[in-house]
Each structure stands twice: as C-alpha cells, then as structure tokens.
Amino acid sequence: MSEWQFDAPDVEDFFRYTNISCFSVKNDERHIAVGTNLGGEFEVWGLNNPVYYPHQLSHIGQMIHDVHYDPAGRYILFTADHDGDENTQLYLLPPAGGKAKVIRESPGHKQLVLHVSLDGNRVYYASDRDNPSFFNNYRLDLESGREELIIEGREVPSYIAQVSPNEQVFVVLKMFANTFIAGFVVQENLWKPIVPNPQTPHIVYGAEFVDDESMYVTTNYEAEFSYLARYDLTTGNLQTVARMEDEDLTDVKWDPEHSRLYVLSHAGVQDRLYVMDVTRNNGNLENIPLPVSLVASWDLTPSGHVYILGQSEIFPNNLFRWDLARGEWTKLTDNRSMGVDPKLAVYAEVTKYPSPSLNGRMIEALWFSPPARLRNGYTIIWPHGGPQYAERRQFRSIVQYFVRQGYQFFAPNFRGSTGYGLTFSTLVEGDWGGGPREDMMAGIEWLLTQKLADKDKLFLMGGSYGGYMALLLHGRHPEYFKAVVDIFGPSNLFTFHDSVPASWKPVMDKFLGNPETQADKFREDSPITYLETMTRPMLVIQGANDPRVVKRESDQLVEALRARGRHVEYMVLDDEGHGFSKKANEIAVYQKIAEFFRQYQ
C-alpha cells in the first residue's frame, strides 16, 4: 500500500464532528453566540462577522440548552444543566467571554428562558422550583434584580410562548398532552382562548404579534394539519390565512421592516420555509428552498435576515443566513464529520408499506442501503424515540458508519409519529406496545417479502421510546433478531409511570395510560413481562443521571435477565442523562455498539 493510501474511517472518525445545540445573533449581526462541544465538552463559543473563526466564551463544561444575545450588547444569557440531569440554570456571560455568572439557580429544578425584552433589561423565564408539576413564569429585571410572578401554572404545565412589544399581553400555552396544547391570550389577568372551543383537542404551535391589534398563530384546531391563522386581539376572532396540503405549519416570525411573515413547515421527513408578503393580503406562501433537510432552530434579525441552524442525512448542524435582497443562502459554518465523505454518503430512500392491523394504511419509513458491492447482508431495525416524534432526514453519524460498513438501516414512522396528521399521532396514546409494535412487525415482514432483508440477519436497536420498543420486540418476537441494543429505554411501564419528572405527571394518563385502571394493558405492554423469551444477546446503555428514564429502569431489566443466565452487557455512563453531552462518551457508546454487532454477525 502506498504511503498516501489510508485505512477506512472507523467509528471515532464518524463521530469526530461538532454538535451545535443552539445559537443567537446579535442585533448588529457582527457576532453570533453558539452552544457547541467544539472542544469536547459543551461551552458557549463566539463567531465574528465576517471572520467566523470560533473563539471560546465560557468554561462551564456542561450541556448548553439555550443562548440569547442581549439586544443592547451587554451580556450573553444562556442555560446549562449538570451532567445531563436537564435541570437547567440561568447564567450571564460578558460579551467577550469569561466566568459565567449565575443569575437564577435552584439545584434539582429547571429554569427555562422564555423571552428577552426588546431593550434587554428583562428576562422572562419558567421554573418548577415552587411549582414542580405546572411551572411558574417570572419576569426578572436585570437592572434592579426585582422579580415578579407573571403566570402561575395550574392544572397542567403552562408557559409563556410570546410577549407583546409593550410587554402587556402574553400568549400562554397550556400542555394537556403532546397532542393537546391550548393557547391563551392573557392581559391584566384576563385569559382569552385563541381558538373558539379550547376544550377541543388541538395544538397551538407558534404565535407572533404583528401590531397592537393582531397576531399570527399556527394551529391544527379542527384540522389534521396545522395552518396559519390571524387572531384579532380585540374581537378574539381567529381567521384562517393559509394552509399547505399534508404539512404542519409550525412556527412563525414577523419582519416588520419589510412587512413579511416567515413560516416554518414540518413536511413529512423534512422541513420547508415559506415567506408571505402581508401587504398583498392574499395568503400566498412563497417557498424559500432550504439548504438543509431539517431546521433545528432559527432566528430573524431586525434587518430582515433569516438565520437557521440545520442539518441533513450527510452533515450535522450548520449555520446559514438568508439574504432577502440577493435571494440566496450563505453558509456560515463548515461543520462536518471527518468520517463522512459526501461522495460516498448515502441519502435515505423514503418508502412505504401497508400495516394490516391499521386497515392497510401505508406507513412511511426511511431506508438506507449501501451500494450492492458493499452490503454485508445484515439489516439494522431502528424504532425511533418519542414516541410522538418521527424519523426524518436528520444527521445520524452512526447510520452513515453502519451503511459504510455494509449494513442496511430501516426506520419506520409507526402510528403515533408526528407529521402525518393529528389523528395518526394520537394512536400511540394509551397504546405504547400495541399498534406501534404491529406497525414495526409489518415493516419487518414487508422487508422480508420484498427480499430486501434476511430474517437470519436482523439486528435491533433503539433509544428512549425506541429502546423500549427494541426491548418489547425482543420479548415478543425474539425469533426475528440476532442481537438487540437498548439505549435509555423503559423496561417496566408501572415503574416508568411513577418515576418520570413531576412536570410529566399531569399528562401521563393521557400519554401512557393509568397503571391502576389499565393494569392489564400495562403488563401486556411492559417489556419486563417477557423476560422468559428475551433470549438474544443484549447490550443495554444507560445514563446514570437520566431524569426521563431513570437508571432503575435498566437496572431491574439487567438484573432479572442475568439471574436467568442471559447474556447482557451493561454500560452505564456516570456523567450523562438522556443523551450525550460529552463527545468522549458518545464515541465510547457507539464503538461498543459497533463491536457488539460485529461480534454476532
């Protein structure tokens, strides 16, 4: 081999890229703050226009969840948790960087930034410190240090979603379920529902004040997919403005300088961006082609520039800026995985198959397959997390690695997935292990019938709800799989129901079911019920600080299986929660998974 010939990239090479979790653009657009693990652990970093060479601003070493530039340029506000516990605290940084100053801290509780005032003097935030189940919403004056309670959460978790320019009117969302989020306009303690009948299950996704008399909202009230509507603040009238067929219009941003409204859409497995010139008053949404498949977050500056943080199947989150005058995107970062060669990377094929138990309804799935010359004959089945989520055209370096190694990868959007209408997303509620499992098995059978996969060469892997589904499929259909990987998955619905965060508890009966009145269903759908048939080799991954799926969920499963003499490898990450905040841990986990699958080929 010549000296300039190199070995193929390994797992670590595929994971040697930067995660960008959030960003904020200063009003003058000369500076951008980002949350990223560029140095191996998450910090706040800065980018200066036009250089865009990153410089570190914080040294906290924890996951950065949110970042906001002071409109007046005096500080950078951010939130961070501790070792994945998701209990975010509020910090301020000097614009040039340095030691972070804690402005609100309550160990064991969350503080969530909701809004920063136009002059930067006031911060609105929610916290569960005095209201663990429903959250209280506060206004903190950064000049005086005075804090006042604005919204007290009652009945269900409640959050301020939007604040009027004069800070006298608030849009408050009340979360009854993932599929039922009601919106209210609150002024002087008077609550007005945004939709005519707020008891009808629906979602208010986004809201944007246009002037003192009206605002735009996105909602799926009395519809399968969400649409754009205009709400009259005086009369309470809600009028539909625009719809896009089979798309959820989810978020809106108003550009007063150019009288334009930008609308972000969830269109199946990818996102779309639209703009509407409101002066024409015709409800016409003009498509702006995106340079990414999915938008993680976005912002609109006073000048009218749109900034997005987004990704595709072949590259991780990057920053882009849309120039309205030139009508083009400028790429501001070149974040890439050193293991992913764009010329060799594989894009997902969107495929569909019928699910017999759902009256033959077609289930959409993503299918990754390497070139025929590289295929090793094995297929990895991937049930996604959520469950009210969807597998989309996102960047998963482990998928690109496995495909490069010759594996095929199959990711169905089973019933309960988002992006296919409100009714479809509700079908998982109270039925975690029924319909979704049947859809997964229908997909596997379809692969076999189409001769796209070999029944003797199927691996199974999932995370969160996907980990739960991997466990359940293993217990109920062990004959299909050679080996199984569970990442942070619940094993027992009874104990899971009782151990979730306090703010989840008000919605759990709707989301999962009631363990007392539906005990038989809980037993039927709990993976731990099927210990006797969990006979395949297993690898279980768990974060010690996971607040969503606590460590006991994995402990009890591993202990019970080992007591029965089963082969179970167990990897616990002492400084992680429900995901990976440290690059070294992420690499170690996926190296272990790759080794595990190789072992059972």
Write the DSSP assignment of 181-244 as a string of letters: EEEEEEETTEEEESSS-TTS--BEEEEEE-SSSEEEEEE-TTSSS-EEEEEETTT--EEEEE--
**Which tokens sit at 313?**
């199947």
pLDDT(549) > 70: yes
Q: Per-residue pLDDT tens for 204-253?
A: 999 999 988 899 999 999 999 999 999 999 999 999 999 999 999 999 99
pTM of this structure: 0.95
Adjacent-strand bridge partners of 50: none
The band of 8, judged by pLDDT with boundaries at 50, 70 and 90, is confident
Q: Per-residue pLDDT tens for 363-383?
A: 999 999 999 999 999 999 999
pLDDT(450) > 70: yes
Give 236's contacts (C-beta < 8 A, 6+ positions apart). 185, 192, 193
Residue with tokens 């072992």, as numbered in its chain: 599
Mean pLDDT over 566-571 rounds to 97
DSSP state for residue 402 in the 8-state scheme: H
Give 180's contacts (C-beta < 8 A, 6+ positions apart). 201, 202, 203, 510
**Is the CB of residue 56 less than 8 Å from the CB of residue 39?**
yes
Give 3's contacts (C-beta < 8 A, 6+ positions apart). none
Gap between the Cα atoms of 292 and 307, Å rounded? 12
Q: Per-residue pLDDT tens for 120-136?
A: 999 999 999 999 999 99
pLDDT(585) > 80: yes
**Is the CB of residue 153 less than 8 Å from the CB of residue 135?**
yes
Q: In the prediction, which pLDDT does 325 show?
A: 83
Mean pLDDT over 448-477 rounds to 98
Q: Per-residue pLDDT tens for 495-546?
A: 999 999 999 999 999 999 999 999 999 999 999 999 999 999 999 999 999 9
The band of 440, judged by pLDDT with boundaries at 50, 70 and 90, is very high
pLDDT(316) > 70: yes
Return the CATH fold of 349-599.
Rossmann fold (3.40.50)
**Is the CB of residue 401 less than 8 Å from the CB of residue 382?**
no
HSE of 370, CA atoms in CB hemisphere, 13 A: 19
pLDDT(51) > 80: no
Q: In the prediction, which pLDDT does 342 show?
A: 85
Mean pLDDT over 166-194 rounds to 96
**Which tokens sit at 558?**
């591993």
Alpha helices per DSSP H over 326-434: 397-404, 422-426
Nearest CA among 329, 328, 332 for reference residue 318: 332
Mean pLDDT over 553-561 rounds to 98
pLDDT(111) > 80: yes
Give the residue extent of every domain in the chain.
20-153, 349-599
**20-153 sits in which CATH class?**
mainly beta
One fold for both 20-153 and 349-599?
Answer: no
DSSP state for residue 17 in the 8-state scheme: S
Q: Per-residue pLDDT tens for 389-400?
A: 999 999 999 999
Give 402's contacts (C-beta < 8 A, 6+ positions apart). 380, 409, 594, 597
The band of 587, judged by pLDDT with boundaries at 50, 70 and 90, is very high
The band of 52, judged by pLDDT with boundaries at 50, 70 and 90, is confident
Q: In the prediction, which pLDDT does 504 show?
A: 94
Gap between the Cα atoms of 483 and 468, Å rounded? 15
Q: In the prediction, which pLDDT does 280 show?
A: 85
Nearest CA among 157, 160, 251 for reference residue 511: 157
pLDDT(1) > 70: no
